[in-house]
Structures are given as C-alpha cells and as structure tokens.
Amino acid sequence: MMKSLATVVALPRLFELLLVGCWVVATGAQVRAESHEIDRERSTVTIRVSKAGMFRAFGDDHEVRAPLTSGSVEDGPQASVRLAFNAAQLRVVDPGASPDDRQQVQSRMLGPDVLDVARFPEIRFESTDVRRTDSDHLSLNGALTLHGQTHPVVVSVARDRDRYRGTATVKQTAFGIKPVTVAAGTVKVKDEVTIEFDIVTRAAKPVH
C-alpha cells in the first residue's frame, strides 16, 4: 500500500519533468548561442591621450582612431567578445593640429618609443567573463594584449540592441610603454589613456 502511494505521488513530478524537457527541446533554438560579426564600417574605437606636466597648457591632447580588423560578439550562456586591431593602422586625428604636427605624432606613436608596431603588430581584446548588471548594461572582464604584453582589464558596456558603447582606462606603463615627454619633462602625456568604443554588430549566426 505504501509503495503504491509513493508511486502515485511521484507520477505528477515525473510528468512535470517530462514537460520541462519537452519545452527545452522545443525552444532550444531560442537559447542557442549566436555569434554576431562586428560591422567594421559602422564601429569606431577612439583612444584619447591627455597631457600632463608643469607646462601642459603648451602641449596637445591627442585623439587616435583604431580601426578594427576583426571582431565578434557571442550571445548565450557562454557570452564572449573578441576584438583585433592592426597596430600600424592606428591614426592620429588631432582636429586642432596641422598635418605636419599630426604626422610627427603619428610617426612617434607607431615607432619604437611607443607602440613599436614593427615588433608588436597586433592589439587584441578577449573577454574572460561577461556579466549582465541590468537589462541594458554589461560588465566585461577581459585580457588586453598590447605592446607584446597581456593584462586584465574591466570594461563597462551599455547595450542598445545591436550597438555596444562604453569606455575603459588603461595605463601605458602596465604594458611596458613609457609615456612620451618633451621639454625636459615639463610637458608629457598622462600614463592613463581612455579608450572609447561604439561597436555595431551584424545579424546573428548560430554557433554550432
């Protein structure tokens, strides 16, 4: 009698589990991971370098554009972000500078004193953990490879459908880059640089 009663009690639970299993199978396409390729033409990454030092008023802030060479955003339980840049394609776009001044800054930035693109041609970011802080914001822990070194960074991201915007701050010295100084150090650039990004993704593709 007791065995029959236990069987009767267990049947509704078994039926519930079967229903849940059928729902997972039926909606598997909705929870399947999807990969979104980044639209390089509509996406922008800007690096801002500010001046410091005793006579910083006589120096210039610098604005650098970093065009993407590739990238993807994957949704799903194991969300991830990957970005890649060709260091030699970074361009100084200082609006208030003359073409000659921009070219001088460009040459020094790409040369052995700063990025040394001949030795370190690629810049990469790969997320290690993606967390949703609310419906429209994400927190990314990731690894940034720059100047031949890889270090962790944390990025806060605001999402609006297929667009991701945010900023991150990194120190040049953390990647073995000595901030540029001129005039015996009275004018120099700050160690911290700000990276602003506006990433737009294309239509999703299922991840198999």
> Model pTM greater than 0.85?
no
- Give the tens place of pLDDT for each residue, 109-151: 899 989 999 999 999 999 999 888 888 898 999 999 999 999 9
**What pLDDT digit, counting tens, does each position of 7-56 carry?**
444 444 434 443 334 333 333 444 456 888 999 999 999 999 887 533 33
The identity of residue 141, as a single letter, is N
**CA–CA distance, 33 with 37 (Å, rounded to integer):** 13
CATH number of the domain located at residue range(s) 33-206 in this protein: 2.40.128.110
Is residue 54 helix, strand or coil?
Answer: coil
Q: Is the pLDDT of residue 67 over 70?
A: yes
Query: Residue 122 carries which side chain, given as an amino acid letter?
Result: E
Strand pairing of 68-74 and 122-134? unpaired
**How much is the pLDDT for 194?**
93
Question: Where do the H-state alpha helices sit in 32-183?
Answer: 99-110
* Per-residue pLDDT at 91 exceeds 80: yes
